[in-house]
Amino acid sequence: MGSILDGKAYADRILAEVKVGVEARLAKGRRAPCLAVVLVGEDPASQVYVRGKVKACAETGITSLEHKVPATTSQAELEALIDRLNGDPGVDGILVQLPLPKGLDAKAALHRISPAKDVDGFHPMNQGLLFQGLPALRPCTPSAVMRMLELHGVSLKGQRAVVLGRSEIVGKPMALMLLEQHATVTIAHSRTSDLPAVCREADLLVAAVGRPGMVEGSWIKPGAVVIDVGINRVEDLALGERIFAAEPRKLETLKAKGAVLCGDVRFGEAMQVASAVTPVPGGVGPLTIAGLMRNTLQASEALG
Ligand code: NDP
């Protein structure tokens, strides 16, 4: 039986490290780091994510500024707001909460953010620096996963790592960071043939796909470490009965509440094969927020 890789506990450790960094800044007479969060529209899930980020700011001593603008905001208005925040010397980090309402170009908005304030690490400049192994603001999810692996004592040198998913925000940067730490990395995606066999080669398996319970226990190499980035809401009982066969509590919640959150990995099955598995929720989600706080501190240090 594997152990639960408690992302929340590791996130708390990272937040504590950030708090120490913020206090050290204040002790030198410098102001607290400041994160500006831009929320366009009223998407309920985005509101929850923004609340979580603002709460983490408060816990670490980072100042947060919320800019809530209506869903009717035009691209030009959104970019004007980003320009204003780019030019504001009191702002160290800018985060535009995704997804944006229909009609807005998320990529253009993200590319408008000054690379020095790009705490999500999505700007091509920061992604290029990561590609070259140079210091940069790196995407929060993979960089916080790396810190958790380090704190957990996972040695990556010479290990086979498989990253499921090739997005610019998770899969690709995750693969680069694992490569940097000397893992032998395979990136798998929707066109990969024989995905189960590819996954079974992994000493470290990172799933960032967005398909509930796609990774079955039989896809996992015995003793592997499994990081489940996916966050999926399941409402379909037939699907739940299939993917939660080894996780009766999830199935009960689905039946009782009509919906339940889960990852890309069948957690109950994975726990029977792997050495450690991150749960969903309570795994990579809190780590991502901790990574954002770390990036905000890093941006403020670089900006002076
Ligand atoms: P994207 O949709 O951008 O990318 C998904 C990737 O999965 C793509 O590369 C796609 O392949 C691949 N994929 C999709 N279907 C399959 C399949 N059937 N078999 C193999 N590969 C497949 O998603 P993100 O990277 O943005 O996010 C992935 C998941 O992680 C989502 O559930 C998201 O909610 C979650 N997430 C969680 C975070 C957290 O803090 N915990 C942070 C960010 C994301 P292809 O390129 O070929 O289409």
Mutate to test the pocket of ligand 1, among 190, 233, 295 (most ligand atoms within 8 A of CB): 190
Distance, in Å, from the CA atom of 206 to the CA atom of 189, rounded to the nearest integer, reads 12
| Ligand 1 center to 230 CA (angstroms) | 7
Q: Is 229 in the pocket of ligand 1 (CB under 6 A)?
A: yes
Identified catalytic residue from 97, 127, 159, 298? 97
| Tens of pLDDT, residues 155-179 | 999 999 999 999 999 999 999 999 9
Residue entry with tokens 């009717």: 72
CATH architecture observed for domain 140-285: 3-Layer(aba) Sandwich (3.40)
Q: Are 215 and 265 in contact (CB under 8 A)?
A: yes
Q: Is 11 in the pocket of ligand 1 (CB under 6 A)?
A: no
Token duo for residue 57: 């700011």
Take atom 31 of ligand 1 and give the residue whose Cα is closest.
Answer: 210
Same fold, 29-115 and 140-285: yes
Predicted TM-score (pTM) of this structure: 0.97
Distance, in Å, from the CA atom of 181 to the CA atom of 186, rounded to the nearest integer, reads 14
Q: Is 283 in the pocket of ligand 1 (CB under 6 A)?
A: no
- Position 1 scores a pLDDT of 84
Q: Is 191 in the pocket of ligand 1 (CB under 6 A)?
A: yes
Q: Is 288 in the pocket of ligand 1 (CB under 6 A)?
A: yes
CATH class of 29-115: alpha beta
- Position 146 scores a pLDDT of 97
Q: Are 272 and 2 in contact (CB under 8 A)?
A: yes
Which residue ranges make up each domain of the chain?
29-115, 140-285
Burial of 290 (0-12, 13-18, 19+ CB in 10 A): buried
- Give pLDDT < 50 ranges for the chain: none
- Position 2 scores a pLDDT of 87
Q: Is 56 in the pocket of ligand 1 (CB under 6 A)?
A: no
Is 97 a catalytic site residue?
yes
Identified catalytic residue from 92, 120, 203, 228? 120
| Ligand 1 center to 207 CA (angstroms) | 8
| Ligand 1 center to 74 CA (angstroms) | 28
